[in-house]
Structure formats: structure tokens, C-alpha cells
């Protein structure tokens, strides 16, 4: 089976965590025998240094310089998206430009022709673009929802609701990476156009993300990452934006007062240059947080897996999710987890048994959940043990990739396609 994957999130030079959950799924499909090609869009730019004469070209040059040609065996194609100028003479949307670029690129590359399926991540943008490509090339389209494309984006931008409607009508397969997200996607469907949304989880790398083996390993890893022997650690791994619950988390740290004695919060977030970025480095010096929080500017997946092993509590108070990858990884690492009851978290966490679920935007519930776990070592230990066992049942990327491939194979078989 030949699958073309359209996404805007994929590991890049200097940003290996970017879209790592999508990459792991693609890598699993590759291991299972599927031929996969990832398509990444970038602005077209002229050669010979001329890109510096137009901001659009400069942006394309800068982005393309960060893209891999292959990553861990997955071939990656850089699709140049050309803007006709002046814009007033060539009225077209970003989506139209992107679809035109992808069609041209596929037609010009023999290895991409004859694909069985176009698989697009995020409904409102890449799946919308892919739906236009599908109509032109006659490909089968599978579109998957992952969180913000169903929650935050269409709520903030009403025009994206039309994108969703178009995708719902044109995609051959509709998927989501959690059961709740599938239900939430259906809420945007119009009466008379209701469709089923299949559920495909990401999986978790249980070989990399595992509990610490013994005290010797724990001591070694604490020394490696500059952690103090007598300190216990909370950890949050999330994009540095408000919707991940950082404001509530930092307010909870302040509210915990003396309960934070002997504890420190590790704030792991990749570097991000955008207007809505929270300056977590500056939070280290904020009154009430000094000596209680530490900013770590992103980590390679292998390093993050090691850091998880020496932490005691994982916290993610996000406002919405599909299924937070970091939650799965923390659970697989045997850490007690506090997470908001959003997206698919209740599908992998039984509140009070293998983790704690709280309402989003509730600083009070977050503070009390953290205080409870910080004061009760036995509870932390039992929750971490149960969380790890649950992740082993949940399945790794290969197991969940096989479920996804089975869905693709069954779909194509019912339409007389080769598989």
C-alpha cells in the first residue's frame, strides 16, 4: 500500500519533538510494509540568494532549511508553494495555492503516482487542502482530527467551520485520535451529513518510556541532568502557550506555599517565536516562583524519556487535547499523572486509580490534586505502577499502527482498490 501523508507537524532540524507522534505512527506504517511519503509544504523561493528580497521567499528559505529529506527511514518531500504576484491580479487562498502545489508536485514525481491513499493530519487545514487534491487526482482521502482542529481553531475562526464541512463531505475516511475527539468532531457536522468517525490512538513507545530500573540508574540520571539528590520533581511538558494551562499551573505552585519545600517544577517546552508564547524562562525569577520552577528549553525524545524516569509527578492542565502524547509517555514511565479531563484522557486514566483528572481552568482542583500526590508517596507509587501497566495494555506505535493499517486495508478492499 502506498500512502501519501500531508501534515504541517513533523520533526525538523532543531525541533525533533515537532510532530513526533505523527512521525512515530508513519514509521510504524513503514515497518508494517506500507510505502509512505511525507509531504511538507513551504513557500517557493528563488535561488542564488535572491530569497532575501521578499519576506515570503525568506520565510520559505528559512523553513526549508530546517526540513529533513529522510528521517529514521521515512522519505520526506519538500513541496514548494508558489504565490502569484501581484495578489490583486491572482486572487486565491492559501488553501488553493497549497492544493495546486501538491497536485503539481505529485504529477511531477513518479514515485508518488499511483498512491492508494492520501492521509491528512488536522481537519481544518491539511485535510481541507487534501480534500481539494483528492477531487483533482481522484485519490482516496483519510483525514484525522487531533485536537485544536476540532476545539480551539474553529471556535476562534468561524471560517474554519466551512473547511470542516467540506472535509466531512469529501473525505472517504474520517478518523480521530481519541473517542471523545471523535464525538466532538461530529458536533460540527450538519444535520443530514452525519458520518462515523473512527478512533485510532497514537500509541506510546514503551521501550523508551519506562520506569527507572534501580537507585543506581536514578542517581546517574539525576547527575546527568543536573537534578539534586534531595529534591523531588514535578514535570510539565507542553507548548509554552496559555491553552496548555501554564498560568494555572504556575498559580498552583505559588498557592502550594510550604508544600513546595523540597520540590521543584521542571517546565519543558521547546523554543517558540510567536506572539502568544509564554516566557517560561522569565517565570524562574518571578516572585513566589524563584527556586520552585526551572525552565528546560526543549529536549530530544531520548533525553526526555530519561528525564521522565527521575521525576515524581507529571502535570498537564491543558484546556483541550485530542490525546496528549506526553500524558501517555509519563504514564508509561511509571509517573503519577495529574491531567485535565479533556480529549481522550479519561479513556486512559481512571481517576484516583492510575492518575488524577481535574476540570480545565480550575486552579483550585489543580492545586489540591498536586498537594495530595506531593504529600502521599505511597499513592504516587501505586498510581505510577498502575499507569505503567495500563500503557502496556494500551499498546505501542506498532500495535496501534497495525490497527490503522487494517482500517485502510479494509476501506480500500471495499472499493476494489489494491492493498
Q: Which helix (H) or strand (E) holds 145?
A: strand 140-145
CATH for the stretch 2-203+397-414: 3.40.50.2000
Q: Supply the pTM of this predicted model.
A: 0.90
According to CATH, where is 3.40.50.2000 located in the chain? Answer: 2-203+397-414, 215-394
Query: In the prediction, which pLDDT does 369 show?
Result: 98
Sheet containing 173-176, strands listed edge to edge, beginning at the edge strand earlier in sequence: 70-71, 74-81, 35-43, 2-6, 117-121, 140-145, 173-176, 198-199
pLDDT at 417: 47
**H or E segment to which residue 288 belongs:** none
All residues at 6 or more sequence positions from 286 whose CB lies less than 8 Å from its CB, including other chains: 250
Q: Is 49 exposed, middle or buried (0-12, 13-18, 19+ CB in 10 A)?
A: exposed
Please state, in angstroms and rounded to a whole number, the distance separating the CA atoms of residues 352 and 358: 11
pLDDT, position 416: 63
CA–centroid distance for 176 within its chain: 13
CB contact at 8 A, 112 and 105: yes
The per-residue pLDDT for 314 is: 98
One-character DSSP codes across 316-355: E--S--S--HHHHHHHHTT-EEEEES-TTHHHH--BTTTB
pLDDT tens for the chain, 419 residues long, are 999 999 999 999 988 888 999 999 999 999 999 999 999 999 999 999 999 989 999 999 999 999 999 999 999 999 999 987 776 667 788 999 999 999 999 999 999 999 999 999 999 999 999 999 998 998 999 999 998 899 889 988 999 999 999 999 999 999 999 999 999 999 999 888 899 999 999 999 999 999 999 999 999 999 999 999 899 999 999 999 999 999 999 999 999 999 999 999 999 998 777 888 999 999 999 999 999 999 999 788 899 999 999 999 999 999 999 999 999 999 999 999 999 999 999 999 999 999 999 999 999 999 999 999 999 999 999 999 999 999 999 999 999 999 999 999 999 998 764 44
| Pairwise CA distance, residues 252 & 409, whole Å | 48
Q: What CATH fold (topology level) applies to the domain 215-394?
A: Rossmann fold (3.40.50)
Amino acid at each position: 500500500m502506498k500512502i501519501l501523508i500531508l501534515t504541517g507537524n513533523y520533526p525538523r532540524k532543531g525541533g525533533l519533538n515537532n510532530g513526533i507522534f505523527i512521525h512515530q505512527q508513519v514509521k510504524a506504517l513503514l515497518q508494517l510494509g506500507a510505502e509512505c511519503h511525507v509531504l511538507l509544504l513551504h513557500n517557493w523561493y528563488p535561488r542564488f540568494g535572491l530569497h532575501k528580497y521578499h519576506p515570503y521567499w525568506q520565510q520559505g528559505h528559512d523553513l526549508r532549511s530546517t526540513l529533513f529529506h529522510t528521517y529514521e527511514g521515512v522519505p520526506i518531500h519538500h513541496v514548494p508553494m508558489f504565490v502569484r504576484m501581484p495578489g490583486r491580479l491572482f486572487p486565491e487562498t492559501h488553501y488553493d495555492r497549497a492544493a495546486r502545489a501538491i497536485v503539481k508536485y505529485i504529477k511531477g514525481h513518479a514515485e508518488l503516482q499511483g498512491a492508494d491513499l492520501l492521509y491528512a493530519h488536522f481537519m481544518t487545514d491539511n485535510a481541507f487542502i487534501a480534500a481539494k487534491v483528492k477531487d483533482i487526482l481522484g485519490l482516496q482521502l483519510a483525514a484525522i482530527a487531533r485536537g485544536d482542529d476540532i476545539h480551539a481553531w474553529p471556535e476562534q475562526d468561524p471560517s474554519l467551520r466551512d473547511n470542516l464541512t467540506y472535509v466531512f463531505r469529501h473525505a472517504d475516511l474520517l478518523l480521530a485520535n481519541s473517542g471523545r475527539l471523535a464525538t466532538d468532531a461530529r458536533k460540527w457536522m450538519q444535520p443530514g451529513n452525519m458520518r462515523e468517525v473512527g478512533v485510532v490512538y497514537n500509541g506510546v513507545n514503551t521501550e523508551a518510556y519506562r520506569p527507572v530500573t534501580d537507585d543506581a540508574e536514578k542517581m546517574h540520571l539525576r547527575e546527568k541532568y543536573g537534578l539534586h539528590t534531595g529534591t523531588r520533581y514535578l514535570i510539565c511538558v507542553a507548548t509554552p502557550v496559555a491553552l496548555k494551562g501554564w498560568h494555572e499551573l504556575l498559580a498552583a505552585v505559588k498557592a502550594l506555599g510550604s508544600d513546595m519545600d523540597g520540590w521543584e517544577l521542571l517546565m519543558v517546552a521547546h523554543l517558540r517565536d510567536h506572539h502568544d508564547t509564554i516566557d517560561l524562562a522569565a517565570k524562574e525569577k518571578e516572585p513566589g516562583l524563584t527556586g520552585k520552577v526551572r525552565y528546560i528549553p526543549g529536549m530530544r525524545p531520548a533525553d526526555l524519556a530519561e528525564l521522565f524516569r527521575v521525576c515524581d509527578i507529571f502535570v498537564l492542565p491543558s484546556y483541550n487535547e485530542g490525546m496528549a502524547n506526553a500524558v501517555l509517555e509519563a504514564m508509561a514511565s511509571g509517573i503519577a499523572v495529574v491531567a485535565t479531563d479533556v480529549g481522550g484522557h479519561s479513556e486512559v486514566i481512571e481517576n484516583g486509580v492510575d492518575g488524577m483528572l481535574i476540570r480545565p481552568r480550575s486552579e483550585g482542583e489543580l492545586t489540591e490534586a498536586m498537594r495530595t500526590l506531593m504529600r502521599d508517596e505511597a499513592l504516587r507509587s501505586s498510581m505510577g505502577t498502575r499507569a505503567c501497566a495500563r500503557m502496556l495494555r494500551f499498546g505501542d506505535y506498532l500495535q496501534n499502527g497495525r490497527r490503522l493499517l487494517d482500517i485502510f486495508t479494509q476501506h480500500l478492499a471495499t472499493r476494489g482498490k489494491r492493498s
